[in-house]
Amino acid sequence: MKIAFLGATRGMGRSLARLCAKRGDAVALLGRDPDALARSARDLEVLGAGAVAPVPCDLAAPTGFGPALDAAADALGGLDAVVLSAADFARPAELDADPARAVRLATLNFTHSIAFLEAARVRLLARGGGTLCVFSSVAGDRARKATGIYGSTKAGLSHYAEAVDLRDRPRGLRVVLVKPGFVRTGMTADLPVPPFAGEPEAVARRVLTAIDRGWPVVYAPPIWRVVMLVIRALPRFVMRRVEF
Amino acid sequence: MTRLAGWGGVPAVDARERVGESLAEVCRPASLTRGLGRSYGDASLPPHAGAIVASTRLGDRVLAFDRAAGVLRAEAGFRLSQLEELTRPAGWVSPVVPGTRHVTLGGMVASDIHGKNHHVAGCFGAHVRGLRLQVADGRELETGPDREPELFAATLGGMGLTGHILEVEVALLAIARPWLVIEVEPAPDLAALVARLRAASRAWPYTVAWADALSRGARLGRGIVIKGRWAEPGEAPATSPIHSRVDSRLAVPFNLPSWVLAPASVRIFDELFYRAHCWSAGRRVVHPDRFFHALDSIRDWNRLYGARGFVQHQSVLPVEAGDAHIVRYFETITRHAGASFLTVVKDCGAEGRGLLSFPRPGVSVALDLPMRGAATQALVDALNRHVIETGGRIYLAKDALTRREDFVAMEPRLAAFDAVRRAWDPERRLRSALSVRLLGDPG
Ligand SMILES: Cc1cc2nc3c(=O)[nH]c(=O)nc-3n(C[C@H](O)[C@H](O)[C@H](O)COP(=O)(O)OP(=O)(O)OC[C@H]3O[C@@H](n4cnc5c(N)ncnc54)[C@H](O)[C@@H]3O)c2cc1C
């Protein structure tokens, strides 16, 4: 498989890229930090990737998305899948204190994410299809007191992914929407660890299965499918009271 | 704030643990780096509550693997389990491994770990070609046997007190087959155990003995001697399952409640352990994990000790002191009814380069002791008196209860180690709970 990642120097994206490398996939690494890209590229090479191409690309600079994806396709000789796992995150207190920070998070996680996925979508369709893998979050399944802005961007992203799946699946494009619960990555390092916390490697294994089999939605760890089924069913007055 | 403890669960400290993919960044404000917390006592804990500890958990990229020469370079958080998965199929293994595969390269260097092959291979540090270190003032530099050799020597076994290890380069060991030929031999008493262990070490690269430290009298110290070597081409298949078949089949789901008394836990553990491994006498071919990382077959086994935790005490009694001391040492253990399951006895080879590394020629004895407050402290004090008398020393990666004055009495190399720290970290920015307890650092 020839697969491009935006956000694979960290967290779940990194674990997923390593799994792909171990089975010999060709991997393009899109990211903004040249040192992190170079290190991760070496890591994937040693682990067994068929080819590795580091490509500069920043979620904050949408004009670069198309050219970066083209460079990735050139370097790998085509693309079968594109994964977006990069995202911005901030604690609610930081967002409350700084409106500009909140706008930035909303812009990166929604507007720019969609711009990236659109750039990937048209390129995959142009070559007859492929897989678009989008990391959203269970935080997008139901509004919570604690994660209003982050959660709403993820809700938007999930909505977008579903719509693309409905529209483009007949044309050969498969969308895999990933909804992680709490996963112990660098992003969540400062937060108290809740029950059902997952490890990035385990999440990555599940996501790779989903990509291989074309599952449209994957919760990881899987228990979150059940948890969210319950949470989604709770009436508003209950949500007001529970500290979920 | 996170509650941090070593593998024994005691002591525990509230610390601010920094986790991230860029080790250089994560380490900069930290007073200590920590790997997977598989050291037992307070070696991986911060000097005081609220201090910043860097975790290498996410800094685990491989930077190079020369499959022809068998040299690997990786970030300090790279785990032994990952190393084995990557290099074993290519015919290479870590030259030195501890009893668990859930340790990081950084932790292996900082403890200068020894394995069952210490008598032939020395410590892990003997195979380290280079280290990338972030020293106390934030500078990054490359050290090795020929580059900043004093700093390098102090870092091997230096328990994280000389700098944050960012990268490790190690020369691996070539193997013909990823399987092990082992031979198990029972010994009826302590004298026989030690004699057979020594004899075994002359013919086998890997040797270890498990002794029963609970039975008394003539049966004191009875046990088994286990010998091993990598299989030759005619003896075993060329491939082994990548994922360890013996790993984590059984798990201890939570801390056992405190009413489960330690001796009962010990018996349960023994039972599980022996059943999982069927250590019967004779020669056979086994999966390497079964030999090297037998304890990993029961995940989170430290929870057997309940919330009060346990401490380990490992010491080496020098050959020069004579074998009579070993018997007296075991008698001290039984007198205090320490209830150690799996008392591991090992004979150590020559001392290595690390300024504070543990092994030296002699017999090493490792005990697990359920934490019972003052009684456990008294036992450790009594054991340390033997250690001081014989000119032996203790293993810092296992220690939690040794007193400063005892440590100073058994460690003539302290001045040399101190000099290196004075040169590179005059303000003592790098400290741990262990260095406050044993080296007199400010808390
Ligand atoms: C079941 C079991 C069996 C064991 N068997 C053996 C054995 O046979 N032989 C043996 O020698 N040991 C043995 N050990 C001990 C273990 O191998 C060591 O304690 C090892 O160092 C733990 O690695 P870690 O990554 O968890 O490090 P931690 O426990 O997290 O840290 C250990 C020390 O290393 C320092 N450190 C860790 N990473 C860095 C870094 N990047 N830079 C600077 N300092 C760092 C810490 O500050 C601390 O002082 C065993 C432990 C267990 C639990």
What is the predicted pLDDT for the residue at A188? 84
3-state percent helix, strand, coil for chain B, nearest multiple of 5: 30, 25, 40
Number of other residues whose CB lies within 10 A of the CB of residue B32: 27
Confirm or reject contact between A39 and chain B (CB < 8 A): yes
pLDDT at position A172 over 70: yes
- Asked if residue B136 has its Cβ within 6 Å of ligand 1, the reply is no
A166 Cα: distance to centroid of ligand 1 (angstroms): 52
ipTM of the complex: 0.91
Confirm or reject contact between B167 and chain A (CB < 8 A): no
- Region B13-37: what's the mean pLDDT? 96
User: Over the range B154-177, which residues count as b (16 or more CB within 10 Å of their CB) and which as e?
Assistant: bbbbbbbbbbbbbbbbbebbebeb
Dist. CA B31–CA A175, nearest whole Å:
45
How sure is the predictor about B266, in pLDDT bands with cuts at 50, 70 and 90? low
Q: Which of A150, A160, A219, A224 is catalytic?
A: A150
* CA A80-A88-A134 angle, 5° bins: 25
Write the secondary structure of A151-211 as one string of H (helix), E (strand) and C (coil). Answer: HHHHHHHHHHHHHHHHHHHHHCEEEEEEEECCECCHHHCCCCCCCCCECHHHHHHHHHHHH
Strand partners, B361: none
pLDDT at position B176 over 60: yes
Q: Could A42 and B19 be called an inter-chain contact, meaning their C-beta atoms sit closer than 8 Å?
A: no
pLDDT at position A19 over 90: yes
pLDDT at position B245 over 50: no
What is the predicted pLDDT for the residue at B265? 59
Instruction: List the one residue out of B298, B260, B305 whose CA is nearest residue B277.
Output: B298
Dist. CA B162–CA B422, nearest whole Å:
10
- Residue corresponding to tokens 């460079």: A71
Confirm or reject contact between B416 and chain A (CB < 8 A): no
- Asked if residue B300 has its Cβ within 6 Å of ligand 1, the reply is no
- Asked if residue B100 has its Cβ within 6 Å of ligand 1, the reply is yes
Number of other residues whose CB lies within 10 A of the CB of residue B150: 16
Q: Could B86 and A47 be called an inter-chain contact, meaning their C-beta atoms sit closer than 8 Å?
A: yes
Mutate which of A46, A182, A183, A199 to test chain B, going by most B C-beta atoms within 10 A?
Answer: A46
Instruction: Give the phi and the psi of residue B387 in degrees, each rounded to 5.
Output: -60, -45
Q: pLDDT exceeding 90 applies to what percent of chain A? A: 86
pLDDT at position B273 over 80: no
How sure is the predictor about B247, in pLDDT bands with cuts at 50, 70 and 90? very low
- Enter the DSSP assignment of A24: T
Q: If you average pLDDT over every residue of chain B, what do you get?
A: 90
pLDDT at position B342 over 80: no
- Residue corresponding to tokens 């409350």: A96
Confirm or reject contact between B21 and chain A (CB < 8 A): yes
Dist. CA A161–CA A13, nearest whole Å:
18
Q: Which tokens in the block code for residue A167?
A: 């529209």
User: Per-residue pLDDT tens for B310-334?
Assistant: 899 999 999 999 889 999 999 998 8
Q: Residue B351: exposed, middle, or buried by beta-carbon count in 10 A (0-12, 13-18, 19+)?
A: middle
Dist. CA B388–CA A137, nearest whole Å:
58
Q: Which tokens in the block code for residue A2?
A: 């020839």
What is the predicted pLDDT for the residue at B251? 61
In order of A174, A227, B201, the CA distances from A82 in angstroms are 11, 28, 55
Which range among A143-147, B145-149, B262-266, B346-350 shows the weakest confidence by mean pLDDT?
B262-266
**Cis amide leading into B145 (omega within 30):** no
CB B43 within 8 A of CB B397: yes
- Region B40-51: what's the mean pLDDT? 97
Instruction: Give the phi and the psi of residue B363 in degrees, each rounded to 5.
Output: -105, 125
pLDDT at position B243 over 60: no
Which range among A182-191, B113-122, B231-240 shows the weakest confidence by mean pLDDT?
A182-191
Helices A11-22 + A34-47 axis angle, to 10: 30
B108 Cα: distance to centroid of ligand 1 (angstroms): 5
CB B201 within 8 A of CB B119: yes
What is the predicted pLDDT for the residue at A189? 81
Q: pLDDT exceeding 70 applies to what percent of chain A? A: 100
What is the predicted pLDDT for the residue at B215? 73
How sure is the predictor about B193, in pLDDT bands with cuts at 50, 70 and 90? very high
Instruction: List the one residue out of A133, A117, A109, A121 whose CA is nearest residue A3.
Output: A133
How sure is the predictor about A186, in pLDDT bands with cuts at 50, 70 and 90? confident
What is the predicted pLDDT for the residue at B339? 63
* CA B203-B208-B210 angle, 5° bins: 140
Tell which wins on pLDDT, B40 or B267: B40
pLDDT at position B148 over 80: yes
What is the predicted pLDDT for the residue at A3? 98
- Residue corresponding to tokens 């939570």: B254
- Region B86-115: what's the mean pLDDT? 97
- Asked if residue B292 has its Cβ within 6 Å of ligand 1, the reply is no
User: Over the range B220-253, which residues count as b (16 or more CB within 10 Å of their CB) and which as e?
Assistant: bbbbbbbbbbbbeeeebeeebeeebebbeeeebe
CA dihedral A87, A93, A95, A101 (to 10 degrees): -80
Cα Rg for chain B, rounded, in angstroms?
21
Chain A stretch 183-212, residues whose beta carbon is closer than 8 A to a beta carbon of chain B: 185-186, 189
* CA B381-B385-B387 angle, 5° bins: 110
Q: Coil, helix or strand for B201?
A: helix
